[in-house]
């Protein structure tokens, strides 16, 4: 039977976020907001990367709870389970099944060049496990299982998407065409929100100083307080100059909340003081996050509905993933009739 043309032509997008802690304003403006925009035009897969999370020791019940919470937050931001496939990675066993094949097609040398591995092993010197080392292979499987074309990620993940391309090309060359070669998709606007306390480093959920980041679930008063304390400089003038990292970061946040460019919004603040910039930025953040927070609370109270969305998402994801695993298993010489 012929499918409608739009269905056939839609490109596939996949991305994921680790459920390691609460998501920040940086995750929203840099990633989630784009996920929502992209679901209209692409066949979209958005997953909660719980298998990636255990490269660092996690509390089991917290991990389970947080994975569900992140999925609810995806929905609260506007990801619609009718339009996108929303799922939790560990619910789709094909990720682990493809992983072994891809480990056997990845070189130790490639993995030891990954900057995230170097950073994380320095940070967790007491638990440099093999999973931490092979983590980019699992990420490659996440992408290749769904034959994804575009991967919306932050700049820090670009190296992993490039490795995914190398692994996929190598496999295709050795065994014949099996995987789509993906491309990183790095959004131009609002992609990099920096720490409020150290505006030269990225806003991070693992920042030990909570004043450095705004959590997506922070109460309005907390948001106001954190922005009031944000580091600026002593120049006193509001201009869009990236060298003046603190002021530039506040302008970036304000602009991204309104969906405008920094140049457009900077003019609004000509002659104003930093206090005004901070208050108006806080207003913009609060009015953007408040409806998301309300919807998030509502979804978490609807346990049955959420459970159904999660099960359906896993089924939908598996239906696609199993096709790829069958193909790849057959290519390497495994019998795949059982799958
Ligand atoms: N590694 C990503 C991160 O730490 C999360 C992730 C896991 C991911 N699998 C993915 C992102 C697949 C894009 C595609 O941020």
- pLDDT one digit per residue (tens) for the chain, 339 residues: 555 555 568 999 999 999 987 899 999 998 899 999 999 999 999 999 999 999 999 999 999 999 999 999 999 999 999 999 999 999 999 999 999 999 999 999 999 999 999 988 998 899 999 999 999 999 999 999 999 999 998 888 999 999 999 999 999 999 999 999 999 998 765 558 999 999 999 898 888 899 999 999 999 999 999 999 999 999 999 999 999 999 999 999 999 999 888 988 999 998 999 999 999 999 999 999 999 999 999 999 999 999 999 999 999 999 999 999 999 999 999 987 777
Residues 6+ apart with CB under 8 A from 278: 227, 228, 230, 250
Q: How far is CA 95 from CA 99, 106, 214, 313, in A?
A: 6, 16, 32, 15
User: What is the pLDDT, as a whole number, of residue 191?
Assistant: 57
Give which of 128, 145, 134, 131 is closest to 106, Cα–Cα: 134
Q: Which residue among the candidates 205, 303, 316, 338 is catalytic per the annotation? A: 205
User: What is the pLDDT, as a whole number, of residue 58?
Assistant: 95
Q: How far is CA 222 from CA 219, 265, 286, 290, in A?
A: 5, 24, 10, 13
User: What is the pLDDT, as a whole number, of residue 180?
Assistant: 98
* Catalytic (active site) residue 202: yes
321 CA to centre of ligand 1 in angstroms: 17
Residue 335 has φ and ψ, to the nearest 5°, of -80, 125
User: What is the pLDDT, as a whole number, of residue 3?
Assistant: 56
Give which of 122, 123, 111, 121 is closest to 163, Cα–Cα: 111
Residues 6+ apart with CB under 8 A from 131: 54, 55, 138
User: What is the pLDDT, as a whole number, of residue 7?
Assistant: 53
- Rounded Cα gap, residues 300 and 68, in angstroms: 9
**N- to C-terminal Cα distance for the chain?**
24
Q: Is 151 in the pocket of ligand 1 (CB under 6 A)?
A: yes
């Amino acid at each position: 039977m012929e499918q409608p043309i739009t269905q056939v032509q839609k490109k596939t997008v996949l991305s994921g976020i680790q459920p390691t802690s609460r998501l920040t304003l940086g995750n929203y403006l840099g990633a989630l907001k784009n996920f929502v925009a992209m679901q209209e035009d692409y066949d979209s897969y958005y997953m909660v990367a719980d298998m990636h999370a255990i490269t660092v020791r996690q509390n089991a019940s917290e991990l389970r709870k947080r994975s569900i919470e992140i999925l609810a937050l995806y929905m609260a931001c506007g990801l619609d389970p009718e339009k996108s496939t929303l799922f939790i990675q560990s619910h789709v066993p094909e990720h682990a099944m493809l992983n072994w094949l891809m480990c056997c097609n990845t070189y130790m040398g490639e993995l030891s060049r990954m900057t995230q591995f170097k950073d994380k092993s320095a940070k967790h010197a007491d638990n440099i496990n093999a999973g931490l080392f092979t983590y980019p292979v699992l990420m490659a499987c996440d992408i290749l299982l769904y034959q994804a074309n575009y991967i919306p990620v932050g700049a820090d993940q670009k190296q992993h998407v490039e490795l995914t391309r190398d692994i996929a090309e190598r496999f295709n060359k050795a065994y014949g065409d099996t995987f789509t070669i993906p491309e990183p998709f790095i959004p131009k606007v609002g992609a990099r929100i920096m720490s409020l306390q150290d505006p030269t480093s990225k806003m991070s959920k693992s920042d030990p100083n909570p004043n450095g980041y705004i959590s997506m679930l922070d109460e309005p008063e907390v948001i106001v307080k954190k922005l009031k304390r944000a580091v600026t400089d002593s120049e006193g003038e509001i201009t869009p100059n990236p060298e003046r990292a603190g002021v530039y970061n506040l302008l970036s946040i304000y602009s991204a909340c309104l969906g405008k460019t920094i140049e457009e919004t900077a003019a609004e603040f000509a002659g104003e003081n930093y206090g005004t910039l901070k208050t108006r930025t806080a207003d913009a953040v609060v009015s953007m996050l408040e409806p998301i927070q309300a919807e998030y609370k509502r979804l978490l109270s609807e346990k049955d509905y959420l459970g159904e969305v999660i099960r359906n998402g896993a089924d939908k994801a598996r239906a696609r993933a199993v096709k790829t695993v069958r193909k790849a298993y057959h290519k390497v010489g495994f019998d795949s009739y059982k799958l």
